[in-house]
Chains A and B, each alone.
Chain A
Amino acid sequence: MTEQAATLEAPVARAASVNDLTIHVATVNGSGSQSSNNVLMRAIFQMGIPVSGKNLFPSNIAGLPTWFTIRANKDGWVGRKKEVDFMICMNAQTAKDDVMALDPGAICMYDEPLNCAQYRDDLRFYPVPFAKLAAEVSDDSRLRKLLTNMVYVGVAAELLGIERAELEVALDKQFKGKKKAAELNVAAIDKGLEFAKANLSPQSLFRLERMNETAGKIIIDGNSAAALGAVFGGVTVVTWYPITPSSSLCEAIIGYAKRFRVEPDGKATFAIVQAEDELAAVGMVLGAGWAGARSMTATSGPGISLMSEFAGLGYFAEIPGVIWDIQRVGPSTGLPTRTAQGDILEVATLSHGDTQHIALIPGSVAECFEFAIQALDLAEIFQTPIFVLSDLDLGMNNWMSEPFAYPEAPIRRGKVLSQEKLEELKGQWGRYADVDGDGIPYRTLPGTEHPMASYFTRGSGHDAQARYSERPADYVATVDRLKKKYATAKQYVPRPEVDRKPGAKIGYIAFGSSHLATLESQQQMKREKGIDVSYLRLRALPFTDEVFEFIRTHDRIYVIEQNRDGQMCDLLRLELAEEALKLRKVLHYDGLPIDARFVTDVVCELEC
């Protein structure tokens, strides 16, 4: 063992653990560390250990600090955990802060010149001469930089017990058939493995061992899952304007649609348009929805703001369309690469005048897939813009999931009168007439060949026959029917998921990407404090009766969300004023994904 590479023993004792570990990698944005981190995560996954990967990145193409967090947990708790067990320091800019933030007893592997060991004496340090090792793999200076990242994969693998064979499989997946690149990277990983074996003293604090909890599971990010849902949901018109963190959703649609939605003659059963801005993107969605397409767009907060006028038109003129909001920290550009659930209130009533929107809130990648399909159905069933509220954490990070089930239910196209139907009706119909008493009128599609098929769509006042009207009674009838339609939606939107603990006095309400942290906190409360907590996960607006029932039957409700003001809690209070005092807010809004310990700590402060 060389002097330099000696590890410094940590004086603080920590209980050893197997398959329960958080790895935190600090690198420089644009240095190519993403593939290394993916290989690490995938290899752990392939060893049968539940895992997740989160990219904490700056709004920058290259040069600023970026972190990647991998959480492996045998019990499946793969939401974010704040405490880092195994730190990999590769970035001089942040090395000191990264080291200082660690809990005593943690392991810190670092690029030797950073001299991290100088900062603390209660950690276990592993210095590694990465530049030297990478140079031994390739003399191309540009490649060397990238290979450095693979060397840390090798070192970490040796220290933690990650199987080499699985690293190789993961690399293959990462470099999809690019043989030359894969070979070089294997060499870099081996370099790291060999170095660690020869020079670093093994540790037994945090170990990874093969288990069997991931067989048959997939790893995917929420945006790709949503894209798949859209493609299998029969979307035909997609428009978008690039914005983080939603761009990858539309880019994934392009990829999947080109693979699966092009007919043998080379023609596409979809159209995807990169619009000039979000105003145009949503305008196209509504134009397409009006003409009968299953249409959608994806954006984030700033784009939602721009869509406001059209959202009201879509609601009032009753035009289908799906709008995904992959939320990020606001306002304005805010922290564009950080996560939040801050658009709840904005979306719920987006636009001027009286508006109420239906919104779906997926809490997992599987639900991103399912809700993408369901949103397209609901848009046509309700003839209105349907919002889907995801966020950066769910959308851009890697999540484990059961494979997605093929959609068995047929595609639903809503109440559309065909030429034959119009003949049957002898042309007697009214575009905005509430024939069925559910608030949902019938429509015809442009191009329907019947002299009575056409109608005139406008944002201005109209009567049941779609005639221009400023009569007070007509306006009231229109907006009251829209309210009725919104109430009907309660029977169609995804119901909340309720886990009621017998005798529990308190309950959690959470939604979206807060799900895993909430679930884990529920378990912490039981295990650590002996307190039973019920949990209701919201999956849509409007709220359904289960939500009110849940609130009524508990003494105190903690509404957990990732924004400053407790927007969802306020919406609940508005609808359930008599129970308002029962509702308490647990608010996480620093731009990083919420973690279970945070929830437990806040709740304990008030409960324990």
Chain B
Amino acid sequence: MAESTLKTKSEAPKENRLGLKPADYQGGKSTLCAGCGHDAISNQIVRAFYEMGVNPDKVIKLSGIGCSSKTPAYFLSRAHGFNAVHGRMPAVATGAVLANRTLVSVGVSGDGDTASIGLGQFMHMIRRNVPTIYIIENNGVYGLTKGQFSATADEGSKLKTGVVNDLHPMDLCALAVELGCGFVARGFAGDPKQMVNILKAAIAHNGLCVIDVVSPCVTFNNHEGSTKGYQYSKEHQELLHQIGFVPSFEQIEVEVGPGEVKEVEMHDGSRVLLRRLEEDYDPANAIQALQRLHEAHDRGEILTGLVHLRPEKESFMDLLHVVDEPLATLPAERTRPGRAALEQIMKELM
């Protein structure tokens, strides 16, 4: 199988553009099972935020409930974190972004958290295009409640106990495309390079980013017969394209042959490079995205890459026409109308 990423850089420096070290992006010690896919994703988040030089003080990380939703405690300790209630991260993240639009918002959820109890909020957050990097750590089961099937479990996949799932799985990427999401990607916790580039592109995007990541649960869904384990996922990962990412603050020439690479300019001036593999793929084309997702699913493959990308879409905060500064800290002079205003209303009511 081809490499999932395009090489755009040779070696990582010891400090990022803010002068911060990787340690400034670390989180607390994980309490998840050794080998859990979720921990791999946390590491990829640390790396992406470090390399992008995002100020960790200006990041918020929110989650619902589940093993996956515990992970915000395990990355970016310098960011304020909020472990909310089951399935309701979207509402809490939306509120936080409304209060302070200058923050970078990261939401972590699980397949149970998003595809079942939180499905409504997930869909409405997409509809609103609230600027947030929404990561679904998808293992096909409820890890924290000890291994029940989730709504993303594949038809025919088997629990350790032998129970077979006979319901159709929900494809959260297809759903996000359908709902008009401007940034939809699928990754695999076992492919860190691709994940890091997807995350960097997400950081550069203004609007909601849905990233569905196959993230094996080594304790409850990594056995023979499971379709979300490491082995199965490695064997069935199908690449849409090779992803390269050039941040806005770097001038890098990428060695690629002419005509092979599609370049998408992101909101912050960064460039996403997508090198074609078997066939041409236009990430702005929703119909093509849905078709490829369905076809791959029918073949039993896991399609990964930047499924859908529309960086020009207006975000919720733009649509609301709120002031540029955080609403949270506006001074009283700007949030309490003057005496004359009240007097005028009182007169109208007399």
Contact = CB atoms under 8 A, between A and B. Distances in A.
Interface string A318-361: 00000000000000000000000000000000000000000000
A232 B336 contact: yes
What does DSSP make chain B's interface, helix, strand, loop or mixed? helix
Contact of B326 (A220, A279, A292): A292
Interface in B62-85: 62, 72-73, 77-85
B154 to A, nearest CB: 29
A456 B91 CA distance: 18
B14 interface: no
A577 to B, nearest CB: 35
Contacts of A449: 55, 57-58
B2 interface: no
Nearest to A369: B342
Contacts, number: 223
Contacts of B327: 236-237, 269-271, 288, 293
B102 interface: yes
Interface stretch (A113-121, A405-413, A542-550): A405-413
Interface residues of B, number: 58
A446 B100 contact: yes
B321 A236 contact: no
Interface string A430-457: 0000000000000011111111011111
Interface stretch (A191-199, A258-266, A578-586): A258-266
A289 B85 CA distance: 16
A203 to B, nearest CB: 31
Contacts of A309: 85, 88
A266 B346 contact: no
A497 B328 CA distance: 34
Interface string A491-524: 0000000000000000000000000000000000
B337 A280 contact: no
Of the candidates A275, A282, A309, A454, the one having the most CB atoms from chain B within 10 angstroms of its own CB is A454
B92 A290 contact: yes
Given A268-B323, A269-B334, A292-B326, A283 B91 contact: yes
A447 B58 contact: yes
A276 B90 CA distance: 11
A310 B87 CA distance: 11
Given A269-B323, A280-B91, A288-B99, A232 B78 contact: no
A458 B88 contact: no
B100 A291 contact: yes
A228 interface: yes
A286 interface: yes
Given A266-B321, A269-B334, A447-B326, A284 B58 contact: no
A276 B329 CA distance: 27
A271 B91 contact: no
A295 interface: yes
A310 to B, nearest CB: 6
Nearest to A407: B336
A280 B121 contact: yes
A295 B92 contact: no
Given A275-B91, A291-B99, A457-B81, A411 B321 contact: no
Contact of A232 (B80, B91, B329, B337): B337
A209 interface: no
Contacts of A287: 62, 82, 84, 91-99
Contacts of A261: 335, 337
Nearest to A321: B95
A406 B124 CA distance: 38
11 contacts: A218-B349, A219-B349, A231-B337, A236-B99, A290-B82, A291-B100, A292-B328, A293-B99, A445-B100, A456-B73, A456-B83
